Chain A
Amino acid sequence: SQTIHQWPATLVQPVGSPLSLECTVEGTSNPNLYWYRQAAGRGLQLLFYSIGIDQISSEVPQNLSASRPQDRQFILSSKKLLLSDSGFYLCACNTGLEQFFGPGTRLTVL
């Protein structure tokens, strides 16, 4: 079965600073990968998804970008963080019919 790693687990960053969140997947190959954001403990919003290396689709316009340099690596980035980027970021991958999630990164922008 697949395992999803995310780091860091917690991050506090000042407004205007850059961001890099990393997600790696073990136990599966050529997965579809996803970045979600959960604000204020409520619903999850899909930010990006990827069906292969260097193939990224954005679901909502925003201050963030994503990259997939390797098959099982998915990176979420920003050049300059905004206060509104605070939230809980979850990486996920598809295995067959089901989607599994990593442990998440809690980002606080001050």
Chain B
Amino acid sequence: AQTVTQSQPEMSVQEAETVTLSCTYDTSENNYYLFWYKQPPSRQMILVIRQEAYKQQNATENRFSVNFQKAAKSFSLKISDSQLGDTAMYFCAFKAGGTSYGKLTFGQGTILTVHP
């Protein structure tokens, strides 16, 4: 079974600054995928970024990028030029490849507050 750990229950950052959210996971799988989801106050889950484990290059989506350290089983999210609209709960999630039926295992989340 997989576990996902987010050790930062809450984080805060000033607008336009950079913040990094941490995530570690434990698995015996070699083929898997990692995700960061954002849940704003509306509670709609929004996919932020995806990383395939077989790819060495870190994924990037505009102001969002990841630092994927496969050997360390670490998957952190960096948000650059933080905006007020980035205020949300952020979840790290793991999905095994193969016949896992696409099931996701989530961390407990990090509440991020962006201050003006």
Cβ-based interface call for A99 (8 A): yes
Q: Mark B84-116, 1 if CB is under 8 A from A, else 0.
A: 000001010001000001111111110000000
Could you say which residues of chain B place their CB within 8 Å of the CB of A92? 45, 104
**Are B104 and A46 in contact, with the CB atoms below 8 A?**
yes
Count B interface residues, CB 8 Å.
Answer: 21
**Are A103 and B106 in contact, with the CB atoms below 8 A?**
no
**Are B102 and A100 in contact, with the CB atoms below 8 A?**
no
Could you say which residues of chain B place their CB within 8 Å of the CB of A74? none
Given contacts A42-B108, A43-B91, A98-B50, contact A32 B101 (CB under 8 A): yes
Could you say which residues of chain B place their CB within 8 Å of the CB of A51? 101
* Bound Cα distance A56, B84 (Å): 40
Q: Mark A50-68, 1 if CB is under 8 A from B, else 0.
A: 0100000101000000000
Which secondary structure characterizes the binding site on chain A?
strand
* Closest chain B residue to A33, Cβ basis: B102
**Are A99 and B104 in contact, with the CB atoms below 8 A?**
yes
Interface residues of A (CB under 8 A from B): 32, 34, 41-46, 49, 51, 57, 59, 88, 90, 92, 94, 97-101, 103-104, 106
Could you write out 9 A-B pairs with CB less than 8 Å apart?
A32-B102, A34-B103, A43-B108, A59-B103, A92-B104, A99-B104, A100-B47, A104-B43, A106-B43
